Amino acid sequence: MPNNAFSVDALPDLSGKLYVVTGGNAGIGKMTVAGLASRGARIYMGARSAEKAEKVITDLKRELGNPHADIIFLKLDLTDFRSVVEAARELKSKETGLHGLINNAGIMGVPFSRTKDGYEIQFQTNYLSHWLFTYHLLPLLQSTALPQPGTARIVNVTSDGHERFTLKEGIRLDDPNLESESAMVRYGQSKLANILHTKQLNAVYGPKGKESGDEGGLAADILDRNLNKQATGMAPAAILRIVTPIMKCTGILDHEAKGALSSLFAIADPNFTESGAYIVPYAKIGKPSKMAENDLLAERLWEWTFKMFQEKGYL
């Protein structure tokens, strides 16, 4: 059961375990990396700038009082699909397994612009590129989970903006860039997509998923993180656990160290085992919007995303 008194010290020794955190060079992502490193884990910090990331890594080692903390920079530009695939390939060339993936990076409320791939920057950064990154890392996660089901987890970070700013149809698949809509509506659509992604991952790869079979399954949870309180969730699965943290779009952000607690709980607490749960601040089970529970929309979004990436040659 969720533990409202959860702290980093409650995590077990994570020596020998490997994690990836996107956007791990700043904010809650940085503190998530710090929490994992403090328990002995190896972490790849996904970020665009090597110079900035290496400085953060140096700072974290000093703050942790451990010059040997195993934190590794991974070049990852979420505004570039090619970079996303290359980052996943680099990981697969160096590692044979992966215990946890935290899709933490995100942007909010920025002016309209298209990436080099032609998609609205929030939709690509927050959703599309994380979908692609996750897809290419599934073999590593499954490799870890196969001998011991439930030991590999996925955490997707989302926001309460998925409900506050989403269109009545949820996801506009015939016009995903939403150029005529406001920046926050575009943001809300990307955050709803994070939850639907988690939902479909659980449906396909979860403990009872159609692709679990002899290889086990993924566990999917939805996490709620808000700009006041960050939350993260995780789910145990035959193979993977999947979650989506959510962020409130109003108020003052919690202290980053506190905000990282939900992500850490979701990705590494051995006592949380409810697959597919929606987690709100801090480490509590909540309930997403009605649209976020739409099975048909989750399937349609998955199919649209898969087909798009397949046609572009990224799968």
pLDDT in tens, 93-123: 999 999 999 999 999 999 999 999 999 999 9
In a domain, 212, yes or no: yes
In a domain, 7, yes or no: no
In a domain, 241, yes or no: yes
In a domain, 103, yes or no: yes
- pLDDT-based confidence at 186, cuts 50/70/90? very high
In a domain, 88, yes or no: yes
Q: What is the mean pLDDT of the chain?
A: 85
Whether the bond between 282 and the residue before it is cis, its omega within 30 degrees of 0, is: yes
Rounded Cα distance between 19 and 44, Å, is 6
Q: Which of 4-8, 99-103, 163-167, 239-243 has the lowest mean pLDDT?
A: 239-243
What is the phi/psi pair of residue 68, to 5°? -100, 10
pTM, 2 dp: 0.90
In a domain, 2, yes or no: no
Of 258, 253, 250, the C-alpha closest to 282 is: 258
Q: Which residues are catalytic?
A: 187, 191
Rounded Cα distance between 312 and 170, Å, is 25
Average pLDDT over residues 233-252: 48
SS3 153: strand
Which structural domain, as residue segments, surrounds residue 166? 13-312
Q: Into how many domains does the chain fold?
A: 1
Rounded Cα distance between 119 and 1, Å, is 40
Instruction: Read off the CATH number of the domain in which 181 is found.
Output: 3.40.50.720
In a domain, 8, yes or no: no
In a domain, 175, yes or no: yes
